[in-house]
Amino acid sequence: MMIIRPLMETDANALLDLAHKAGVGFTSLPADPERIASKIEASLAAFGGEVDLNSEQSYVFVMEDTDTSRVVGICGIESTIGLSTPWYSYRIGTLVHSSRELSVHNTFPTLYLSNDQTACAEVCTLFLDPDYRHSKNGNLLSKSRFLFLAQYPERFESTIIAEMRGVSDANGQSPFWDGLGAHFFDMAFADADRLTGLGKKEFIAELMPRHPLYINLLPQHAQDVIGQVHANTHPARKMLEDEGFRYQGYVDIFDAGPTLQTQVNDIRAVRDSQCYTVAIDHTTNNENDTKSKPKNEATELPYLLSNTSLTDYRCTLVYLAYINTPESGPLCINTDLAWALKVTTGDQIRVVQLFGSSL
């Protein structure tokens, strides 16, 4: 069974392994033991702390294969961004040059260095081991965060963003960086990416030009990737867009990957999720093996189920027949699923269909 749970101290080596598999361009999970130790410490503090939107709190979750006790994925939510260190992005804008005398009117797309998304929440750090990219595991890993947001909205800003990984090749070369950033930073994309992942962002403000940059003056290969995602990131982008996230003209300053944005309450899984009282029945057949297909796809649909605990949060994917509203009575689950979700009879669980239909 695949279970989503909070990050623990014992996950350090597993995170380092995932970081090596993620490669260059995945700034939120650098392959650096000290940075990973700091990430674990920050996450433990967030789950164990009080609500405080005046400081950045980082909630990190992992996907564990309970059959092997192996950590195979990671995802996170930042309560707010840009408070301790500036949050930079490019905003795509327009400049108009016109001359009535010459009857000339030209519009030019431009890049503006921006801190507009300061004090937004952020879904981040999404990475799934390539061996597990099947059987809706990616959907479970990404969308499990939305049930946590639904349960604890007071811990997060109301506007939420998601930075998408931009285009780069297998050698870590970024067309956008080569066409723009390299001229100002005098370092390879991988080096700038590594420094950002280590939290050393001061050089951005020191070296990046503050005036608008004309996109049409960039090399064509750099223009072509603005707002585009890495080949491995297309499924993640579609998943977020299906949940209500939208591209609104902000891109990463290094690789020009798009930033998606929405309101927390407008996320489909947040909006449609409902809480049920648990009833445990060992005869109930809850199919929770994501490697299997439901016996009858017309009556059994994939659902996300999570408990309502903060520090012991658990979420998994289950195939269920149609279920009634919470007012109609408790939701029966079997003992294996109850154990995995750490719930007992009378507890509350949060439920939502995995894909775009309300209960």
Catalytic residues: 230
Please state, in angstroms and rounded to a whole number, the distance separating the CA atoms of residues 80 and 165. Answer: 20
Q: Return the amino acid letter for 297.
A: E
| Calculated CA dihedral for residues 350, 78, 234, 115, nearest 10 degrees | 140
Nearest to 206 by CA among 216, 194, 218, 195: 195
Decide if 29 contacts 22 (C-beta within 8 A). Answer: yes
Please state, in angstroms and rounded to a whole number, the distance separating the CA atoms of residues 105 and 269. Answer: 46
In three-state secondary structure terms, 310 is coil
Decide if 152 contacts 350 (C-beta within 8 A). Answer: no
Give, for 307, the enclosing helix (H) or strand (E): strand 301-307
- Long-range contacts (CB closer than 8 Å, 24 or more residues apart) made by 125-128: 125/28, 125/29, 125/60, 125/74, 125/75, 125/76, 126/74, 126/75, 126/76, 126/236, 127/18, 127/21, 127/22, 127/26, 127/29, 127/73, 127/74, 127/75, 128/63, 128/72, 128/73
Q: Return the amino acid letter for 343.
A: V
**Stated length of the chain:** 359
In three-state secondary structure terms, 112 is strand
Please state, in angstroms and rounded to a whole number, the distance separating the CA atoms of residues 88 and 185. Answer: 15
Please state, in angstroms and rounded to a whole number, the distance separating the CA atoms of residues 229 and 225. Answer: 8
Give, in order, the Cα–Cα distances in Å from 102 to each of 97, 108, 359: 11, 18, 62
